[in-house]
Amino acid sequence: MDDIRARAAAKALPLNSQHISRRATVFNRFFAAIYGGAILALFYYHVASLLKPTSLGSFFVSVSLFISDIILAFMWVNAQSFRMNPLHRREYPGNLKELLKKDSDFPALDVFICTADPYKEPPINVVNTALSVMAYDYPTCKISVYVSDDGGSAMTLFAFMEAARFAAEWLPFCRENDVVDRNPAAFFVSNKDWNTRTDKMKEMYEKMKIKVENVLKKAKVGEELVNGEEERMVLDKWTNSFTPQHHPTVIHVLSENSKNADITGESLPNLIYVSRQKSKTSRHHFKAGALNTLLRVSATMTNAPIILTLDCDMYSNDPQTPARVLCYLLDAKLATHLGYVQFPQHFHGVSKNDIYGGELKRPYIINPPGMDGLLGPDYFGTGCFFVRRIFFGGPFSFQSPELSELSPNHVVGKPIKSPQILELAHRVAGCDYETNTQWGYKLGFKYGSVVEDFFSGYRFQSEGWRSVFCNPNRAAFYGDVPINLPDALNQIKRWAIGLLEVTFSNYSPITFGVRSMGLLMGLSYAHYAFWPLWSIPVAVYAFLPQLALINGAPIFPNVWDPWFLVYAFLFVGAYGQDLVEFVVVGGTFRKWWNDQRMWSVRALSCLLFGTMEFVLKSLGFSNFGFNVTSKVMDPEQSKRYEEELFEFGVFSPMFVPIATVATVNLAGGLIGIWRSCGGSGGGGWEKMLPQMLVVGFAVANCWPVYEAMALRNDGGKVPSKITFLSLFLALLICYFAAFLF
């Protein structure tokens, strides 16, 4: 790519531009100074309260609130790193035409798609993702798609056998009709221009879909569905001893661009199925291990200088995406340190007001420009284009792999189906291959955390690499969003465990990160790494003011006290700034309200349980396993999701604190109203109003929980066991709180 960069520099062709919003930056810094002053004033108030305790109970309350506010202040300080220098970029893909005039000018692209369970990640969805990138507006002879099947499923392999045949029709159809939605399922749903050819394509797609889904229902590939001896030979590897946890390596080339062509004679992209060897006695390192296997296998077969990683449900929504990436990778000014180009995650099928806050706008859209103004955004785990060189040490400290064929500079000189290539590919996909090597530590994606994306991006940048956040007007990728509460919480719980693994490792962002990347970048990563700590202040503020209110004990300054204004400013300032930032990136008030509600729900459930599971694991009492988030759409759940009803349904321990908090807050609100109306132990409305405001805010946030506990009778309501358990715990907590106050 160096010669192309040189031509771009010689012609002075602008491939991208950038700008910083000075007004936003000045305002953010000014507001941070004022808000920081208010935090220091609050700390002074807390210290003064601790020095003048009236009882043991009041001392406990003061300490609890002080610790909670210290954590909130710490997280706020970390968050300011995103607001100090937000950078926005723009690409000019039209200028590439002057540089890339023939197919051979384009750099090769390897695409990695990971799947692990055909029942939670339906193969037809994975097929749609693969087809959407195979149909990029990019020379097909330069594209190679590698599908990692960590579930080792013959059904997934069969789905891709069908996909390879369908691609011969689908790719020319997209080119000839200027199709933009190149995921077949998305296209046939959104298309309004029907003709005979379109009808034929849909019929072919539906036949393929039915075949794949029938195989999934039967849990086997019938003999009548096998086409040719080659397919039979590879499917015969699925013997009775073949299990997802124990099986040999399976690598099957489904299409080869030098031999396979579509119906118009154009070459098809390479399409390769990879299921790495599994053994119950070997560590596999979850998704990071699967990606490292693809790194090595792809190096032996194609070794493209650019790598795109995708989740199996994250399909391409813009065929021009690779061109946008080249606008950065071919820029000589960025080339030395640029390691990856990250696109935001967008989601389709989101309910009108995003009831579960599944879009996660803050980590995926709001914060990345702030990191881009420093060293670049973190790695999201999908929708990211890497320079292969990034996996082999820092920009100026190359780490050689153990085999020269795995080096990013190696030129593959044989066809991908040649015996020598396939033999080496099988070797590097073996479960024991990484033993006594640097893979996962100094080479490839990094091991040490189940959030391999966050940890790998963090380590890459600590080695000196930079990244770029590319956020075009048309979303580059779309993925699935969880449509029920258990899936939404389980996903975040896994993140919480992985983030704590990073926090309490030798690579903690607050120490190692600050030393290696600078203060602001280290704080950016610390904001995510310490994310599970939100559970502490949220739990305190979800229980303590309410229990004090029930017992008629004021714990905040009364409304006429100047210190009340400090509390009010901190609350309104934090939520107000969050709302403005949310709306600026296209959100609505209702979506923001649901997003901040889910922030509290996550803190009381998955972040809390993730923290406890991490502690138990650290003490040797728990062994965390990787749970795949289900991508299957249940009709009844989908209906309730569209109606924006919380989906509890199944029993989960994580629901207990949510229901308990809802119960305690409702009791606190009712008793607070009674006291304000002259009930026993009222103590004056001006003393209790601050707690009433906290309780009122919590009760408003808990409305979907009350609805699911008492007002609904569908399959998504709170299980009766959870309701009774939460009532019992609420009574127990209130009983013991009476002794405290």
List the catalytic residues: 150, 453
CA-to-CA separations, 35 to 40, 311, 558, in angstroms, rounded: 9, 39, 21
CB 345 within 8 A of CB 383: yes
Residue found under tokens 């420093």: 374
Strand residue runs (E) in 70-158: 87-91, 109-115, 143-149
Q: Annotated binding residue at 120?
A: yes
CB 359 within 8 A of CB 349: no
Q: Annotated binding residue at 311?
A: yes
Joined together, the tokens standing for residue 286 give 């979850």
In degrees, rounded to 5, the angle at the alpha carbon of residue 322 between the alpha carbons of residues 407 and 14 is 100
CB 644 within 8 A of CB 514: no
Cβ within 8 Å of residue 137, ≥6 positions away? 319, 320, 322, 323
Q: What are phi and psi of 551, to 5 degrees?
A: -95, 10
C-alpha to C-alpha distance for 237 and 278, rounded to whole angstroms:
14
Q: Annotated binding residue at 69?
A: no
3-state SS class at 183: coil
Joined together, the tokens standing for residue 113 give 């798609």
CA atoms within 13 A on the CB side of 220: 9
Q: Nearest CA to 60 among 540, 558, 672?
A: 540
Q: Annotated binding residue at 446?
A: no
Q: Nearest CA to 145 among 180, 116, 179, 109?
A: 109
DSSP 108: P
- The pairing of beta strand 384-387 with beta strand 338-342: antiparallel
Residue found under tokens 């970390």: 78
Q: Annotated binding residue at 331?
A: no
DSSP 81: G
CB 671 within 8 A of CB 683: no
C-alpha to C-alpha distance for 442 and 391, rounded to whole angstroms:
8
Strand residue runs (E) in 333-402: 338-342, 384-387, 393-394, 397-398
Joined together, the tokens standing for residue 478 give 């779309």
Q: Nearest CA to 412 among 581, 315, 296, 259?
A: 296
CB 287 within 8 A of CB 440: no
C-alpha to C-alpha distance for 249 and 242, rounded to whole angstroms:
11
Q: Nearest CA to 300 among 440, 175, 182, 416?
A: 416
Cβ within 8 Å of residue 623, ≥6 positions away? 617
> Chain centroid to CA 696: how far?
32
Joined together, the tokens standing for residue 481 give 């969003």
C-alpha to C-alpha distance for 512 and 503, rounded to whole angstroms:
10
CA-to-CA separations, 648 to 352, 470, 534, 637, in angstroms, rounded: 19, 36, 23, 10
Binding-site positions for UDP-alpha-D-glucose read: 120-121, 150
Binding-site positions read: 120-121, 150, 287, 311
